[in-house]
Amino acid sequence: MSFDDSGSDFDLPVQQAIFDTKLTTLRRRGYLVSNTFRSLKDNARVGGKGYSQHLLGLAGDLDIRGLSPEQINEMIRAARAQGLTVVTPEQEVALGHKPHVHVQAFRAGVVPKAVYRRQLGVQIQETP
């Protein structure tokens, strides 16, 4: 899926509703999802990526505490089956983040930057 740079063809409320439906499906399967929406301040505090989809309510973190490696793999498969982009615990550790399974509605770079600017009212500081 791609959108034009102006983001005028990106309907955020619709995308949030689609994303929430997918998270609901995961929750019904017993998975705990947290941190769906993050403010700019919270995102900076936790060292989130500049253009984190958490800022738009298009990302969530799936709790892996108490799950076996097989259960984590099953969770990842379930998230991918919903069409979600998944950051695995190993990738999270490599990024210096707490190991959980981060899921987001779109691959990195797909959401037009103009959508962030319009929604948050500021220009995002890029993080390396």
Using DSSP's 3-state secondary structure scheme, residue 25 falls into helix
Minimum distance of Zn ion from residue 48's CB (angstroms): 7
Of the pair 8, 45, the CB lying nearest Zn ion is at 45
Q: Are 101 and 88 in contact (CB under 8 A)?
A: yes
Residue nearest Zn ion by beta-carbon distance: 102
Spell out the residues 6+ positions from residue 104 whose beta carbon is closer than 8 angstroms to its own. Answer: 53, 58, 59, 60, 84, 85, 87
Q: How far apart are CA 128 and CA 120, in angstroms?
A: 20
Min dist CB 6 to Zn ion, Å, is 27
- Lay out the site mask for Zn ion across 36-65 (x = CB under 5 A, - = otherwise): -------------------------x----
Closest distance to Zn ion from the beta carbon of 122 (Å): 21
Nearest to 113 by CA among 56, 36, 57, 46: 56
What distance lies between CA 76 and its chain's CA centroid? 13
Name the minimum Å distance from CB 21 to Zn ion.
19
Which of positions 67-106 make contact with Zn ion (CB under 5 A)? 102
Nearer to Zn ion, 6 or 46 (CB): 46
* Closest CB to Zn ion among residues 5, 41: 41
CA-to-CA distance for 66 and 99, rounded, in angstroms?
A: 12
Interaction site with Zn ion (CB under 5 A):
61, 102
